[in-house]
Every structure is written in structure tokens, then in C-alpha cells.
Amino acid sequence: METALPIVWFLLIAVLWTGFFVLEGFDFGVGMLMPFLAKDDRERRVLLNTIGPVWDGNEVWLLTAGGATFAAFPEWYASLFSGLYLPLFLILVALILRGVSFEYRHQRGEAAWKRGWDACIIGASYVASLVFGVAFANFVRGLPIDATRTIHQTVGSFFGLFTPFALLGGITFVALFLTHGAAFVALKTSGDIRDRARTLASRTGIVTMVGMAAFVIWMNLGYSGLARGAAGAAPALSLWPAALVAVLGTVVLWLMNTRGREGWAFIGGGVAILALIVNIFAAMFPYVVPSTLDPANGLTVFQAASTPYTLTIMTIAAGVMTPIVLAYQAWTYWVFRKRLSVKDIPADEPVVAAAPGPVAG
């Protein structure tokens, strides 16, 4: 049991990241698509309203994944924030700016005010998607860890993270979230916005299929634990089927979109993201942080894990709370399942008046 718990929590953290990217992926996609799908303010509000009731709930998966990593694998958490501090800081800033933009955009009616916050939503969505892809590619590729499990920091190490493989990961994440987001918009809207979303998804879907195939093949052949010859590495059976499903998911996403089957297209995108994250975590195993200096220096699941007592308490808590969270999110999506169109948006959005200042004496 003590030996199994670290593996169980490695899998649970993979599930949490999968949930985050499947749900938040289309959120990022909607943000990135605003310049291409919306021609005026009312159409931009339609796009924002498709994710308005759910975006903050989707980000709970990220908070839970981070908290679970800190509690279950403290050395993994410390290594990531040591070796990837600037990329993770960029992601944090992007997520904060994006959330603030959703809340502040409608507080004033001036066009310049709205355009400024829209630019923040768009830019933050691109930055978060790209850097998440670069970060996860580096999770698999590894960090420069020496025999004392110290991560070497060198001048220019931040830009050193943007290797060709990592950039391919970033581009793949951006293209996948764009296409997944377009499928979601087509599923949730009607009229011209729906037509534009389908047209755009048919174009970005091709890039997504090619990028996904190139990324998973490069990852499994070049950087997986199996490719490194690591003892206890995940077998090929867990790598290549996941890679195949990830690629087929993008094919379903593109094909169903071209046929006007938005529901199946969205499911295809979700399956592609799920299979991609499964492939990434399977490729990492048995490491949580591989070493680019010497495979023997990599931090494994068992070396990074907390005590068996801590993992046991966490397992009990997860067993109680996870079904409640899943039920609540499912209910939220069911309540807000209606399609939206420009007709649902009033012509003039009310402006929130500023609080009166003190009266001069």
C-alpha cells in the first residue's frame, strides 16, 4: 500500500491537470478567438457570455492540481518552481490579468476601456496557452539536475527553456485550444458567430492535427522514460495508444466540425486533450522531474512523495470531495447549456456608476 500511494497520487494529479486543460482549454480558446469571431462589442459579449458562468470554476482544477502537488510531492513542487520560476510566474500573471479583465470590462461603457480589457483577455489567453505548452514539454524533456538534485541556474536559462521541442509543445497547445474553443463557440452560439467559428476551426484543425502528431512522436521517441531506458519506465502500451488517441481526437474534432456536428467535434477536442496529458504523464514516469545532465539524477515519483500517512489522509479527503465537485460542475454546465446569439445581448450595456466622493467643506 505504501508503495502504491505515490503512484496513485501521480495518477490523480494527472487527472486534475487533464480536467483543467479539457475545461480551461476551450476558455483559453474563446479568449484567443475574440479578434477573429467578433465584429463588434455585442458579438464580443456573446463570446464572453459563453464562458462567463464557468471559467472561474474551471480554474479550480488548476488550484487543486497545484495544492495536491505541494502536499503529495513537495520535492516535485519545489523543483518546478525552482527550475521553471519565470514561466510559471508568467502563467500566474496571465491568469490574474485574464480574470481581472472579465470582471472589469463591463464596469464602464467607453469603447476604449472595453478594447483595453479585451486586449488583456486575448493576450493573456495566448500567453497562458503557449507557456503551458512550453512548460509541459520541459516537464518531459527534463531540467538540469545534478547528483545532489540541485537545479543549475545559468545565464539565459529562461530562454534556454524554449527549445525546438518545447516551442512545438507550445504551438501544439495553442492550436489545440484554439480549435477546441472554436468548436465550443459553434456549439454554444447561433447565427454568424457560429458560422465563423466553424470556418476557423476547419483551418486551425489542420495545424492541430499536424502539430499533435509531430509532438507526441518526438516526445515518445526522444524524451520518454522508455526512450531514456529508465528502470520502471511506463511500457510502450501506455505511450503509443495514448498518442494515437490524441491524434485521432484532433481528426474527429476537425472532421465533425466540417460536417456541422459541433457536439461530436467538441468531444473530439476533449478526448485529444485528455489523451495528450495522459501521454505526457506516462512519458514522464517514473520521473516527476527528469534530469538533462544524467538520467540517474532525475527525481522519481517515490523520491518526491510525502509520507504514507499524509498520502493516506489525502486519499480519504479526495474520495469524499471529488464526487461533490464533479456533481456541482456537471450541474453548472447543464444549467447554462442554452445557445447564445446577438439577440440575447441588449444593445446598450449598463454602466456601473462610480461611488460618490466626499463633499468638499
DSSP 315-361: HHHHHHHHHHHHHHHHHHHHHT---B-GGGS-SSPPPPPPPP-PPP-
Tell me which of 303 and 350 has the higher pLDDT.
303
Looking at residue 106, the DSSP 8-state letter turns out to be G
Cis peptide before 286 (omega within 30 of 0): yes
pLDDT at 356 over 50: no
Helix (H) / strand (E) containing 299: strand 299-300
Give the whole-angstrom CA distance, residue 350 versus residue 331.
29
Instruction: Name residue 300's beta-bridge partners.
Output: 287
pLDDT at 208: 95
Q: Name the H helices within the chain.
A: 4-37, 41-51, 55-58, 60-72, 74-83, 85-104, 111-141, 157-160, 164-188, 192-222, 225-228, 236-258, 262-284, 301-304, 308-335
The predicted-structure confidence for 75-113, as pLDDT tens digits, reads as follows 888 877 777 788 888 999 999 999 898 888 888 878 888
Q: Tally the C-alpha atoms within 13 A of residue 336's C-alpha that lie toward its C-beta.
A: 13
> What are the grid coordinates assigned to 335, written together?
444549467
pLDDT at 158: 67
> What are the grid coordinates assigned to 158, written together?
529562461
Helix (H) / strand (E) containing 288: strand 287-289
pLDDT at 131 over 50: yes
In this prediction, residues 24-51 reach a mean pLDDT of: 88
Task: Note whether 20 and 58 are within 8 A (CB).
Answer: yes
Q: Name the H helices within 152-191.
A: 157-160, 164-188
Give the whole-angstrom CA distance, residue 223 versus residue 140.
6
pLDDT at 132: 93
Interacting residues of 244 by C-beta distance below 8 A, sequence separation 6+:
none
Residue 149: pLDDT band by 50, 70, 90 thresholds? low
Count of beta carbons in the 10 Å neighbourhood of residue 263: 11
| Spatial CA neighbour of 287 closest among 227, 236, 218 | 227
Average pLDDT over all residues of the chain: 84
In this prediction, residues 272-279 reach a mean pLDDT of: 95
- The model's pTM is 0.86
Domain 4-144+160-307 CATH assignment equals 1.20.1630: yes
Give the whole-angstrom CA distance, residue 23 versus residue 275.
14
Q: So where are the chain's domains?
A: 4-144+160-307
Task: Note whether 339 and 185 are within 8 A (CB).
Answer: no
In this prediction, residues 335-353 reach a mean pLDDT of: 59
Task: Note whether 87 and 158 are within 8 A (CB).
Answer: yes
> Quick one: 113 exposed, middle or buried, by C-beta within 10 A (0-12, 13-18, 19+)?
middle
